[in-house]
Amino acid sequence: MEPAYRKVAAALLDRITTRAISAGERLPPEMELARQFGVHRGTVREALRELQTSGMLKRERGSKLMMVTRPERVDVAAGVSRALALHDVSYHDVWEALTALEPPIAAAAARHRKSKDLARIEAIVSADADVEQTAEFFRAVGEATHNSVFMLAHEPLVQILVPSLAALIDKVPQAVSRIATAQKRITAAIRSGDPNQSEEWMAKHIRDFRRGFEIAGISLAQPVETR
C-alpha cells in the first residue's frame, strides 16, 4: 500500500505540473495543507521533504513556507544517468545515442545561437581539451540551440560521456588533439551560422569516439565504467 505522504506528494506534484501552482509561488502552511488533504502535519512534512529533494520545492532563507521551483537540468539528468549506469548501458549505447542526438543539436546551435552563446563556446574551446572540458563543450552547444527539449535530452548522455571519455583518453592520449581539432571545426561552423557544416563536423566528431575505442582495444559492448 502506498504511504500517505507519497499520495500527498503526488497530489502536490500534479498541481505543480498542471500549473495550478506556478514556479515562484509559495505553498500554504503545513497545517493548512494537512487540513486540505485530511492527513497529519507530519505526513505533509514528509511529502514536502520528498518534493524538496527532487528539486520541485525549496525554502527561502527566513521563510517558513515552501516555494515551487524548477529542478535544475543537471539534477534531473543525474537521476537518468544513474539509471543508465544501473541498467549496464554500454559504450556502444552511448555512442549510438550521441550519433542520433548531437549532430542535429549542432545544426540547431548554428541556426539559433546568440553572440553570448558563441562567446561561451569559444572560451571553452580555447582551454585545453580534457574530459570535463569536452562535457562543457557539449553542454554549451546544446544551450546554444535555445531548445529546452534538446538540452534536457542530451544532458544525461553528457554526464555519462565523462567516464566513457576518461576510459578512452587513459589509453589513447592522442585523442585529446583530435577532440580539440573537432571542437574548433564545429565552433567555426556554428560561428558562420552553417547548420550543414556544424552537423557534419559533429557527426565526424562522434564517429571519432568509436574509432578511439577501437584503437584503445575497449569493447564497445562492455558497460560504461562509472567513476
Please tell me the predicted confidence (pLDDT) of residue 139.
94
Q: Is residue 227 part of a domain?
A: no
* Shared-domain flag, residues 81 and 146: yes
* Shared-domain flag, residues 89 and 43: no
* Shared-domain flag, residues 39 and 114: no
- Confidence band for 77, pLDDT divided at 50, 70 and 90: low
Distance CA 87, CA 152 (A): 20
* Shared-domain flag, residues 100 and 77: yes
Please tell me the predicted confidence (pLDDT) of residue 226.
63
The mean pLDDT value of the chain amounts to: 89
Residue 66, beta-bridge partner list = 59
* Shared-domain flag, residues 117 and 135: yes
Strands, E assignment, the chain:
57-59, 66-68
Domain at 181, CATH number:
1.20.120.530
- Confidence band for 224, pLDDT divided at 50, 70 and 90: confident
Most confident of 3-12, 56-65, 81-90, 165-174: 3-12
Closest CA to 16 of 60, 64, 66, 59: 66
* Shared-domain flag, residues 86 and 198: yes
Q: Which stretch of 78-92, 126-140, 177-191 has the lowest confidence by average pLDDT?
A: 78-92
Number of domains in the chain: 2
Q: Is residue 221 part of a domain?
A: no
* Shared-domain flag, residues 134 and 178: yes
Distance CA 195, CA 160 (A): 26
pLDDT digits (tens, 9 = 90+) for 156-181: 888 888 877 887 888 888 889 999 99
* Mean pLDDT on 13-30: 89
* Shared-domain flag, residues 158 and 180: yes
Q: Is residue 148 part of a domain?
A: yes
pLDDT digits (tens, 9 = 90+) for 44-56: 999 999 888 888 8
Task: Find the domain containing 148 and state its range.
Answer: 73-216
Domain boundary among 68, 86, 121: 68
Distance CA 137, CA 13 (A): 33
Residue 144 DSSP label: T
pTM: 0.76
* Shared-domain flag, residues 91 and 56: no
pLDDT digits (tens, 9 = 90+) for 86-130: 778 888 888 899 999 999 999 999 999 999 999 999 999 999 888
DSSP-based three-state secondary structure for 67? strand
* Shared-domain flag, residues 64 and 136: no
* pLDDT exceeds cutoff 80 at 80: no
Please tell me the predicted confidence (pLDDT) of residue 170.
82
Domain boundary among 68, 100, 115: 68
* Shared-domain flag, residues 136 and 159: yes
Q: Is residue 93 part of a domain?
A: yes
Residue 58, beta-bridge partner list = 67
Q: Is residue 53 part of a domain?
A: yes
Distance CA 227, CA 160 (A): 10
